Structure 1
Amino acid sequence: MLPVISADQYATRSAVLSSIVVSWSPLLHDIHATVSLLAVGGKSGKISLWRFYAPDCYTIEGGKIPSAVKFVGFLEAHNSWVTTISWLSFSVNSSNPQILLVTGSSDGSVKVWLGDYHKLIKSTEVDQNVFILLKEVITVNVVPVSVLSVTVHVQCSSKMLSAIGKGSGSFEIWLCDISSKEFNKLGSYDAHDYIVTGLAWAFGGRCLYSCSQDNLVRSWILRDRCLDEVPVHMPHNNNSSSASDDVYDSCLGAAVSPGNLVVATVHCFDVEKLNRMYEGRVLRAAIEYHWIGGLHVDICLNRPVPFYTEELSGLAEKDLTNWGSNIIWSLNQYQCLDRPLVLLDIILALLDFKVSMPRYVEHLLIKWISLSFPGFHTDLPNEKTLLQVSSSLSGVPSRMLHLLNIICRRVMLAQLDADEITRISSEVQNTKGECCSMDEQVTKWIAILGSSERELRERLVGFSFCASQTSKSRPGATPFQTGHWYPVGLAQMEQWIALNNDHVRGELKSIASEVTNEKSRCSAVESCSYCSASVPFESPEFGLCQGKTSGSGSNDKRHKLSRCAVSMQVCPSIPLWFCVCCHRVAFRLAPDPLFRMSSSQFDSDFVTKSLSRAVSSKPLCPYCGILLQRRQPDFLVSPLPV
């Protein structure tokens, strides 16, 4: 009984619904919502836009939070198939963020669109008025566009570098100044014999990687507005090797790791060159990884730093210097708070160096601390820098402390189990560093880790007490309201301050005493979930209940219970968040301002402004800053990658 449509109407609808390429936008933030846009390009030349809303809260319980998704409209981008889409966000200033959409088509055209940032978040319908066509950098021609790669220029935050791959095997480089709307073509390169299938920028636009169906992967350095080719393979020790390319038929794409130290390429197998016994694997592809951290890309640090290169190595001194500069640059990129902490490539490179050159790794990390941490100087000897770390962390941003904690646990203390590190750290603090059972070098880094985690714990406790004091002035607020954060575990935090009275700063004691005087003193004693016995507060990491077994001559039975890393309360027997780095558990989420603190100062203006946006952030570990996972039983297969 549906109305009959004509053949032209059917063909039009079929072209709109025939999707070819999709692309996710960066997260767009507003005081009211956080969204991401999904752009879907089809054969009609139109791009359909879908708005996905970030959830108000995150849970690990059985019920899933429904995703809010809304279709918001079409963008009539091209007259032929949309073959590639790329998004790029600019943060020239925090009050005027900008979002760009770059599209390519099978008719050979490439267009750059400037989107209205706030309308993309709030508008009920997105049309041609929401996107302004800045430039058609390539007009219609006979060569289709196959792939795009865009990035913000490392030396100017208002400029965009665009690499445009074509079906002919060539690609073009464009430099676009968004503020002045000036577009300059830097060059065209006949790099491949077949269609370009992948383009990837690295090191802030200093380096470009291209691949093609001709099975070639080529590396380029951008110098003086032109590209120079350099070798792709950059081993970081004398044991590194590359697989033979003989069995590959073509390269299907390329991507650069978050830390810019590795490029990954996807290859299709040549069926004729495979042994017949492997015919069952013909439909699979292979991913090949290339170390690129030893590339000389003219990275400018604050000042030139000599790196320790006295140990025997298969690499030349200039290669070790390049690796050191690139790793420090990569670590510094994570100072951007909107960038998730994914350090896999950095950790793997440092661990591999540590096997043959442990002193080089330590020297490199000390130079990173002296260059990047506020109040540190590069002219201090290494030993004095390490001694300064433990006593000068109050002015260090929380993001830098998270980086330091991850490096300590996963690199410098990689030979120790996470639970063992936490236990030894507590012993070192109680004995003021006199832990004779451990190696002196290990004890030194455990002391640094303990000081950094203590600083973060003090910030969490201080913010919780300030939030408790300020929340009384917010009328109509209800505890655990969706999208808001409220302090819990104040009684346990008060007990922790009392147990560590000699180490806690006076400012935190003063804040806690004000809240305690205004409220009746709460008991920090909790009940065991197994035997209902009392669980006194003795440690922020775990609790021991006071239960005993019945019967004469029986031994005391005390259950060891984990405490929440956020509230210090005893964890209930429900699904818990788990940190794969420090192995802590939590059933509450830390407030978002904790991860954005630039120091340990708690003034009234900071707390008032912070509480207005103090929602439960993504499930992040308050000590490592990485995403928490749902804790799995010990008998299940580990969720960690191989």
Structure 2
Amino acid sequence: MVGFSICMQLSKVSDRCYGLTLSPGEEIIAVVRSLDLNLLNQMYQVRTQKAVVEFIWIGGQFVGIPLDGSIDICSPQSADLSSSNLMWWGSNILWSLKKYENVEKRLVLWDVVAALQELKKTAPAFLETLVHSWASALFAGDSQCVSITAQSSRSMHDMMPHVSSRKLHLLNIICRKVMLGNHARHGPGAGNNSNDGTTDFWSTLLVASETELRERLVGFTFAAVVKRTACLFNGTSTANCWFPVGVAQMDSWVSMNYEKVHGQLQSIRSKIKELGSRIDGYSDVESCPYCSSPVRFESPDVAICGERHTLSRCRTSMTLCSVAQPVWHCSCCGGTVDKLLPESFFTMPLDAVRDDKGSLDLSAASAPLCPFCGVLLQRSMPAFLLSTSPV
């Protein structure tokens, strides 16, 4: 069994190394070392403990990446870290986050998030400056040109359409896991009860980002419906194309927010209204799986039936999640997903986000990714299936 070095005395670790590897964000080196068998308990430890994994942080030193001149350290920020250490941490973290803007790279940010969370404890002022600099660069392309604080007075709704989906995914992850912590675990509005102005700012930014991504998701689904309909009229096969689900529920959501959504979404929604019930699977009738009472659409995330049963809605389709089959779960936002989206939704360029001209790629394989965080989803299994007991 492989253990962690923090659970053992380092004197039991020998110099023999089995191997080493870099973490996804290249902030940590993981070293697998053998154990000194002569120092282990011969009855118990020798049979179960074969090696130990030692994590070595390397983000606070020179690793071949030049310093980022936009990072400003006006005064000592931490008793544990020098100004030089903070500069290297900031430069290396910004470099790692920049790499993740490439849609071909999977979003695996645990080491970057862990480093930022630790900086939040030891150097909170520096962390705030660093993340502000990074977030400003997302919107402006150059962190030295514009400050996100100055932008905060502008409408977030006007800023978001010009940012790629991958950047919005990164922003959501950092907002949830670092800047808001547990406040935003179960929804962007969960942290709004705080009186802290900083928390309110990042909560507002998270809400604006998720709203933009939701509009893109609805627009993508509507565009897929239009394209499939055109293919059927032209006699083109759609057997291997992604089948859009939850069109009626998304139509209801647009109706509820019609004055707030973008003009492009209003335009393509008019085509959906023209097709109406001719759309395959179009139905806004839903019933509770527990008591069969009708369920009205009032929220894209949760639903409550007439008997007050609380039900989860799929984050990708807005339909009710199955209670009989395992669903997907996002470890970042806590949302549930029942119907997966095609890979093309996560990789399409910004100018194709609300395209309804038939250029969408619906033949791509479905990807188990969260539409609001971009991270890999996990399967939620019933508790009894996870039990070690055979009964």
Question: TM range, normalised to the smaller chain?
Answer: 0.7 to 0.9
**Counterpart Cα distance in 1 of 2:113 and 2:353:** 33
Please tell me the residue identity of whatever aligns with 1:497. V
Residue 118 of structure 2: aligned partner: 352
Q: Matches of residues 75-224 of structure 1 in structure 2 within 5 Å?
A: none
Alignment of 1:355-374 (within 5 A): 355-374=121-140
Kindly provide the CA deviation profile for residues 420-447 of structure 1, in whole angstroms up to 9, marking residues without a partner as x.
x34537xxxxxxxxx5654222121111
Matched, 1:410 2:177: yes
- Quickly say closer, same or farther: Cα 1:500–1:274, change in 2 above 3 A: same
1:424, 1:282 → 2: CA distance?
44
Secondary structure at 2:360's aligned position in 1?
Answer: helix
Q: Partner of 1:85 in structure 2? A: none
Tell me which residue corresponds to 1:100.
Answer: none
Decide whether the 8 Å contact of 2:160 with 2:209 is kept in 1. Answer: yes
Specify which of 337, 350, 361 is matched with residue 599 of structure 1: 350
Task: Tell me the number of residue pairs that the alignment of Structure 1 and Structure 2 aligns.
Answer: 372
Residue by residue over 1:566-586, the C-alpha shift from the partner in whole angstroms, topping out at 9 and shown as x without a partner, is 111112222211111111112
3-state SS in 2 of match to 1:621: coil
Q: What is the CA-CA distance between 1:541 and the residue it aligns to?
A: 0.5
> Relative to 1, partners in 2 of residues 1:447 and 1:243: Cα closer, same or farther, differing over 3 Å?
farther
The equivalent residue for 1:400 is 167
Contact in 1 for aligned 2:221/2:247 (Cα 8 Å): yes
Contact 1:542 1:560 in 2 (8 A): yes
Distance 2:354 2:175 in 1: 31
By percentage of residues, which structure has more strand?
1
| Equivalent in the alignment of 1:629 | 378
Deviations 1:399-433 (A, max 9, x none): 111111111111111132612x34537xxxxxxxx
After superposition, residues 499-578 of structure 1 pair within 5 angstroms as: 499-520=256-277, 524-546=284-306, 557-573=307-323, 574-578=325-329
Code of the residue aligned with 1:583 in structure 2: it is G
Give me the whole-angstrom Cα distance separating, in 2, the residues matched to 1:312 and 1:399.
Answer: 32
Higher-Rg structure is 1
Aligned residue for 2:115, secondary structure, equals helix
Instruction: Give the Cα separation in 1 of the matches to 2:60 and 2:243.
Output: 47
Residue matched to 1:313: 79
Cα deviation, 1:159-186, whole Å, max 9, x if unaligned, reads xxxxxxxxxxxxxxxxxxxxxxxxxxxx
Q: CA 1:598–1:275 in structure 2 vs 1: closer, same or farther (change >3 Å)?
A: same
In structure 1, give the amino acid aligned to 2:81. L
- Read off the aligned partner of 1:416 and give its amino acid letter: H
**Equivalent position amino acid for 1:287 in 2:** V
Q: Give me the whole-angstrom Cα distance separating, in 1, the residues matched to 2:303 and 2:343.
A: 27
Instruction: After superposition, give the CA deviation of every residue in 1:199-250 in whole Å (9 maximum; x if it has no partner).
Output: xxxxxxxxxxxxxxxxxxxxxxxxxxxxxxxxxxxxxxxxx9x974664141
Query: 2:256 corresponds to which letter in structure 1?
Result: L
Q: Distance in 2 between matches of 1:278 and 1:344?
A: 33
Q: 1:347 to 1:387 in 2, by over 3 A?
A: farther
Instruction: Give the CA RMSD over aligned residues.
Output: 2.8
Paired residue type of 2:289? S
- Alpha-carbon offset, residue 259 of structure 1: 0.3
Q: 1:457 to 1:262 in 2, by over 3 A?
A: same
- Deviation sequence 1:615-638 (CA, Å, 0-9, x none): 343211111111111113367879
1:107 corresponds to which residue?
none
2:221 to 464, 472, 477: 464
1:153-302 aligned at under 5 Å gives the runs: 244=10, 247-274=13-40, 276=42, 279-281=45-47, 284-300=50-66
Q: Are 1:327 and 2:93 counterparts?
A: yes
Aligned to 1:336: 102
Tell me which of the two structures has the higher relative contact order, counting C-alpha pairs closer than 8 angstroms and 6 or more residues apart.
2
Secondary structure, aligned partner of 1:610: coil
| Cα distance in 1 between the residues matched to 2:288 and 2:72 | 53
Q: Please list the CA deviations of residues 111-162 of structure 1 after superposition, one character each: whole Å capped at 9, or x if unmatched.
A: xxxxxxxxxxxxxxxxxxxxxxxxxxxxxxxxxxxxxxxxxxxxxxxxxxxx
Q: Where does the alignment leave 5 or more consecutive residues of structure 1 unmatched?
A: 1-239, 426-434, 547-556
- The answer to whether the 8 A contact 1:373-1:400 is kept is no
Distance 1:637 1:450, change over 3 A: farther
Residues 1:388 and 1:600: Cα distance change in structure 2 (over 3 Å): farther
**SS, match of residue 405 in structure 1:** helix
Distance 1:607 1:632, change over 3 A: farther
Q: In the alignment, is the contact (CA less than 8 A) between 2:264 and 2:354 conserved in 1?
A: no
Q: CA separation in 2, counterparts of 1:568 and 1:438?
A: 32
Structure 1 equivalent of residue 200 of structure 2: 443
Q: Which amino acid aligns with 2:218?
A: V
Q: Which residue of 2 aligns with 1:182?
A: none
Aligned to 1:416, the other structure's residue is in SS state helix
Instruction: Tell me the residue number matched to 2:334.
Output: 583
Following TM superposition, by how much is the alpha carbon of 1:356 offset from its aligned partner in structure 2, in angstroms? 2.0
Alignment check: 8 A CA contact 2:189 2:203 kept: no
Distance 2:56 2:83 in 1: 20
For normalisation by structure 1, the TM-score amounts to 0.54
Q: Percent identity?
A: 39
> Hey, what's the Cα distance between the residues in 2 that align with 1:292 and 1:563?
41
Q: Which has the higher helix share?
A: 2
* Shift in CA distance, 410/568, structure 1 to aligned 2, threshold 3 Å: same
Distance 2:163 2:316 in 1: 20
Give the alignment's TM-score, normalised by structure 2. 0.86
Counterpart in the other structure of 1:3: none
- The 8 Å contact of residues 563 and 570 in structure 1, kept in 2 or not, is answered as yes
Distance 1:389 1:334, change over 3 A: farther
Q: How far apart, in 2, do the equivalents of 1:337 and 1:362 lie? A: 26
Which residue number corresponds to residue 17 of structure 1?
none
CA distance in structure 2 between the aligned counterparts of 1:629 and 1:246, rounded to whole angstroms: 36
SS at match of 1:342: coil
